[in-house]
């Protein structure tokens, strides 16, 4: 008898550096009800040291970065029997109730135009949702639902068919801005995204600048993003906007120096295939509240 439960493929990455948090994350994931899960743990440069029963694994010999690790995990679960949905799940996040994933699927059913559903991310201790976790420009009210044009990549539900048609994550980005690239490609397919803040997932409120390469990668990937996805006339506007914002926001001269090094690195090339969005997509993104120049 065929199950009526929706099937979700779940991709989790690990570097064996969060043993306690990882165990709690997996426990919350495997406790989900009213969904059928197919789970893969991708060891990014390591052999996973914690694998619950029934969970698949892939071991990568080197750390390929987060977006490529996600691609590998999604590919490992592709083919016959793959899920209608694919859920990317940070290994230090927590699904606070057993019905969290079923609620995300229900939200996807209510919004068939949306290729991805973004829950609200909140710190488990303070309940605070950081501005960078709210996938829109006006981020002051984290509880307002609506159509969105970007995503918080660490915990997001996508329709697998849309994910595959868009071509997955830009693996060579390594870290940062890969969600913008994927979101823009999904919008260019005529799809949208939906923010469902009433569905909360817990995640520690960490500072992305803790990564040693943060300032270099965010600058480099902004350039790559522009050259990959924007119509030619918008590229200089987008890069000028983000250069000005970065000069204003980055108070440390040393960090700003690293940021400009990343900018120069991006301008030298390496962005990969150029597939700019149509002007129709530019108009749709603008009408949705985020013109693709910021």
What is the tens place of the pLDDT at every residue in 179-234? 999 999 999 999 999 999 999 999 998 877 777 799 999 999 999 999 999 999 99
Query: CA–CA separation, 105 vs 84, rounded Å?
Result: 10
Encoded tokens for 215: 């300032």
Average pLDDT of the residues in 160-187: 97
Other beta carbons within 10 angstroms of residue 19's beta carbon come to: 11
Indicate whether 177 pLDDT > 60.
yes
Nearest Cα to Cα of residue 39 among 21, 65, 14 = 14
The radius of gyration computed from the CA coordinates of the chain, to the nearest angstrom, equals: 19
* Residue 1's pLDDT band (cuts 50, 70, 90): very low
- Look at domain 7-206 and name its CATH class: alpha beta
Confidence at residue 193, expressed as pLDDT on a 0 to 100 scale: 98
- How are beta strands 85-89 and 155-159 bridged, if at all? antiparallel
Indicate whether 2 pLDDT > 70.
no
Mean of pLDDT over the chain: 95
pTM (2 decimals)? 0.95
pLDDT digits (tens, 9 = 90+) for 152-164: 999 999 999 999 9
pLDDT digits (tens, 9 = 90+) for 72-119: 999 999 998 899 999 999 999 999 999 999 999 999 999 999 999 999
The domain ranges of the chain are: 7-206, 210-287
Average pLDDT of the residues in 44-69: 97
Indicate whether 3 pLDDT > 60.
no
Phi-psi group of 160: left, alpha or beta (phi > 0 → left; psi -120 to 50 → alpha; rest → beta): alpha
Query: CA–CA separation, 273 vs 227, rounded Å?
Result: 9
């Amino acid at each position: 008898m065929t199950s009526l439960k929706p099937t979700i493929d779940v991709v989790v990455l690990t570097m064996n550096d969060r043993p306690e948090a990882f165990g709690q994350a997996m426990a919350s994931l495997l406790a989900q009800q009213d969904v059928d899960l197919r789970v893969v743990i991708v060891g990014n440069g390591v052999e996973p040291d914690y694998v619950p029963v029934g969970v698949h694994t892939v071991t990568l010999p080197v750390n390929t970065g987060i977006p490529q690790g996600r691609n590998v995990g999604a590919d490992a679960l592709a083919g016959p029997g793959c899920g209608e949905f694919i859920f990317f799940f940070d290994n230090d996040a927590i699904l606070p109730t057993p019905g969290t994933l079923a609620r995300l699927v229900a939200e996807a059913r209510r919004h068939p135009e949306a290729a991805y559903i973004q829950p609200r991310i909140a710190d488990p201790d303070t309940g605070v949702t950081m501005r960078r976790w709210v996938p829109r420009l006006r981020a002051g009210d984290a509880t307002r639902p609506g159509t969105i044009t970007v995503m918080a990549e660490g915990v997001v539900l996508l329709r697998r068919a849309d994910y595959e048609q868009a071509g997955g994550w830009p693996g060579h980005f390594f870290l940062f801005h890969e969600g913008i690239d994927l979101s823009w490609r999904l919008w260019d397919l005529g799809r949208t995204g939906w923010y469902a803040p009433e569905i909360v997932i817990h995640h520690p409120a960490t500072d992305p600048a803790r990564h040693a390469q943060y300032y270099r990668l965010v600058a480099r990937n902004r350039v790559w993003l522009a050259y990959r996805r924007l119509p030619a006339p918008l590229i200089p506007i987008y890069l000028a906007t983000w250069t000005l914002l970065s000069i204003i926001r980055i108070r440390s001269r040393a960090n700003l120096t690293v940021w400009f090094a990343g900018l120069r690195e991006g301008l030298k090339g390496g962005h990969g295939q150029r597939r700019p969005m149509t002007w129709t997509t530019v108009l749709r993104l603008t009408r949705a509240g985020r013109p693709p120049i910021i």
